Amino acid sequence: MNKYQAEIKIKKLSDEIEIHNHNYYVNDAPTISDFEFDKLLEELIELEKQFPELILPTSPSQRVGGAVTKVFKSVKHTYPMLSLSNSYSTEDMIDFDRKVQEGLGLQPNDLFSSSSVNYVCELKFDGLSIGLTYKDGELVQAVTRGDGVQGDEVTVNVKTIKSIPLKLKGNFPSDFEIRGEIFMARNIFDQINKEREEIGEQALANPRNAASGTMKMQDSAVVASRKLDCFLYYLLGEDIPFKTHFENLNAAKSWGFKISKHSKLLNNINEVIDFIDYWDKERYKLPFDIDGIVIKVNDYKQQLQLGFTAKSPRWAIAYKFKAEQVSTELLEITYQVGRTGAITPVANLKPVALGGTVVKRASLHNADIIEKLDVRVGDVVFVEKGGEIIPKIIGVDFTKRKANSQPTNYISKCPECNTELKRVEGEANHFCPNDSACPPQVKGRLEHFASRKAMNIDSLGSETIDQLFKAELIKDIADLYELKKEQLLPLERMAEKSATNLLEGIEASKQVPFERVLYAIGIRHVGETTAKKIAKKVKSLEALIKLTKEQLLETDEVGEVIAISILDFFASEINRNMINRLKNAGLTLELTQEQQKAGSNKLNGFTFVISGVFNKHSRDQLKELIEFNGGKNSSSISSKTSYLLAGDNMGPEKLKKAQSLAIKIINEDDFEKMINE
């Protein structure tokens, strides 16, 4: 294929992929299978690899991420990003309506007549606000709120959000900004927390924090994996097509934006109040969190007339839902042992309706909180469902405390294995140190080991693990590789076929590549990405075991916490024995010949600093190439730097420093020659 043909094909593929993205992520109505979609995307990426000069900033390949931003550029908002004043009651709403009418010089309306102000009611999405600028139909910039005057430019990260169009369709203005809310759907949030729990990371508190934390991440590939979403709700610009907000929302929808189907044009404040009441009850059925309703005057002329205060528009207001609160009896406090040994006290409650579900349990967090609230069994407690998913106890109704009530004594021994609990200085939770034999910890590790992204042993689900553990056939992951069919067959629900499947699955896992084995063995804080980076650098488990802390710290992604966790893991004799048994069983504990051969030592002993923007490779790709060929990356120039690999728009400071230290400056072509020679 020549370059001209490639250009045509790339355009065709890109358009097709974006239509499918829109169908899937905006319309919720996919028209091809994931497999077919992946094939199209792979074809595009392959072509772009052959013709890197044809990669467009709006290419769907940009959604995969890969670019790393160390520091986000601070950008001034074209229009300041104001917030809304809050209201909490029907009275507040009536008051808002009165002020709007007054501001417009209208006679205060009888509550029940139709007024001449129309309102648009929208869901108040609980995420982080974003301003997207489009020029000639292409997304050129995405900026966070920041302090309202200037925010962070996070365009590379935003491009990974599939529901945000990179190119618009239809009849859009040539230059405008659209604002909206980036959020994380609840099912994605739950899934991420499950994975975090598996590797011993602290759970993210709520979807809002998860979304805003994700937007600040440096590695856009990780942002892509977090599957954020975005609703848009506010257009700004010189030539916005319509004179009312609602018409413009509909127009924006036709250009390809994700506009909530729940936005409604209403005739008066009574209808607004009904809308609020409806969503106060129904909000729990949505797949994402909202924390209220936003009410906006529909007509732009009226908006202009009403204007702004220093902080917020007078033509709009946010109604915030109250966190629903109920009181009920605390029947018992039980203690859960997590996969990492962390102990969580759980309040078992007399069942009570709250936030659309019946609540029977609530989190009590840790010993300090129990003590601070002075919660006791038999108390009547207040329970709230706030932004957090799990309801929490926020206080005790002391007027109802029984005379014979006893202060709560926090447990001192593990409820699962009776080991004395420990508490690490500075950490809130107690934990059970018996990680090698405490049942939920052992089973948790086995489940993680068998999970899809780890060893992917399909036939080894949590029930089977439970069964094998109870029958004392497995106590650690190495035991799996010593299982015999005769041991399995006597077990309940374990027919010949399922036993064979299980053993075949375990056998097949011996071919799983080293980086996934490294993730699977469950070293605390070593997630999928970190495992990959470590595997690539050290090449074998044997080499990893020998590394010192300083050497570990030289690996990308490995900081103090991870380094110490790795050292601790291999310092344990139990773990070293287990690794030996895995080795004898024939697991893949090093990179394959193929993986090893692919690299070279051409850049051995050289340290590179990359700066600027490049034509053929992303900065991440360049970094990988450097490491792949035995070189080292560094972010700052010093006398140890061998080469400054310079692209376009390089920072002048870096250039000056490199020149003053007489460091060789090379461009992308020079670099390619170095590794291809």
| Residue 255 within binding range of ligand IVH, rule CB under 6 A | no
Determine, following the binding rule CB under 6 A, whether residue 237 of this chain makes contact with ligand IVH. no
**Least distance to ligand IVH from the beta carbon of 280, Å?**
16
Using CA atoms, how far apart are residues 235 and 200, in angstroms rounded to an integer? 43
Verify binding: residue 233, ligand IVH, rule CB under 6 A: yes
CB atoms within 10 A of CB 220: 25
Closest CA to 295 of 247, 386, 241, 233: 233
Q: Which of 129, 144, 441, 464 binds ligand IVH (CB under 6 A)?
A: 129
Q: Among the candidate windows 5-13, 124-132, 595-603, 622-630, which touches ligand IVH by CB under 6 A?
A: 124-132
CB of 631 to ligand IVH, least distance (A): 44
Stretch of 90-98, 123-131, 499-507, 532-540 contacting ligand IVH, by CB under 6 A: 123-131
The DSSP secondary-structure symbol of 68 reads B
**3-state SS of the chain: helix, strand, coil percent to 5?**
40, 20, 40
Contact segment (CB under 6 A) with ligand IVH among 122-130, 209-217, 464-472, 480-488 equals 122-130
**In a 3-state reduction of DSSP, which class is residue 147?**
coil
HSE on the CB side for 379, CA within 13 Å?
A: 21
Question: In this chain, which stretch among 78-86, 100-108, 438-446, 592-600 interacts with ligand IVH, using CB under 6 A?
Answer: 78-86
Active-site amino acid positions: 124
Q: How far is the CB of 187 from ligand IVH (least distance, A)?
A: 20
Tell me if residue 340 falls in helix, strand or coil.
coil
Nearest CB to ligand IVH, comparing residues 36 and 308: 308
Half-sphere exposure of 424 (CA within 13 A, CB side): 8
If the CB atoms of residues 177 and 528 are measured against ligand IVH, the closer one turns out to be 177
Nearest distance in Å: CB 231, ligand IVH: 7
450 lines the binding site for ligand IVH (CB under 6 A): no
Residue 266-305 contact track with ligand IVH, rule CB under 6 A, x = bound: ----------------------------x-----------
d(CA 228, CA 108): 44
Query: Rounded distance, CA 362 to CA 346, Å?
Result: 6
Supply the minimum distance, in Å, between the C-beta of residue 382 and ligand IVH. 27
Q: How many CB atoms are closer than 10 A to CB 517?
A: 22
Q: Is 122 in the site for ligand IVH (CB under 6 A)?
A: yes
What's the closest the beta carbon of residue 138 comes to ligand IVH, in angstroms?
A: 24
- The SS3 of residue 234 is strand
What's the min distance (Å) between Cβ of 76 and ligand IVH? 17
Q: Which is nearer to ligand IVH, 237 or 378 (CB)?
A: 237
Name 244's bridge partners: 299
Site size toward ligand IVH, by CB under 6 A: 14
Residue 84 or 644: which CB sits closer to ligand IVH? 84
Residues 551-570 that bind ligand IVH (CB under 6 A): none
Maximum distance among all alpha carbons in the chain?
Answer: 88
Q: What are the C-alpha distances in Å from 617 to residues 8, 43, 430, 624, 668?
A: 22, 18, 48, 10, 8
User: Which of positions 307-336 make contact with ligand IVH (CB under 6 A)?
Assistant: 313, 316, 318
> CB of residue 145 vs ligand IVH: minimum separation in angstroms?
7
Q: Rule CB under 6 A: is residue 234 a binding residue for ligand IVH?
A: yes
Show the 3-state SS of 281-338.
HHHHHCCCCEEEEEEEECEHHHHHHHCECCCCECCEEEEECCCEEEEEEEEEEEEEEC
Name which position in 83, 191, 405, 577 contacts ligand IVH (CB under 6 A).
83
Which CB, 149 or 574, lies closer to ligand IVH?
149
- The structure tokens 């044809």 sit at 54
590 is an interface residue for ligand IVH by CB under 6 A: no
**Locus of tokens 């040539």:** 174
Q: Using an 8 Å Cβ cutoff, are 90 and 196 in contact?
A: no
Q: Could you give the angle at which helices 462-470 and 439-450 cross, rounded to 10 degrees?
A: 140
Q: Which of 125, 189, 255, 519 binds ligand IVH (CB under 6 A)?
A: 125
- Least Cβ distance, residue 243 to ligand IVH (angstroms): 18
CB closest to ligand IVH, residue no: 129
501: exposed, middle or buried (Cβ count in 10 Å: 0-12, 13-18, 19+): middle
Rule CB under 6 A: say whether 181 interacts with ligand IVH. yes
Distance CA 327, CA 478 (A): 49
> Which residues would be at the binding site for ligand IVH (CB under 6 A)?
82-84, 122, 124-125, 129, 181, 233-234, 294, 313, 316, 318
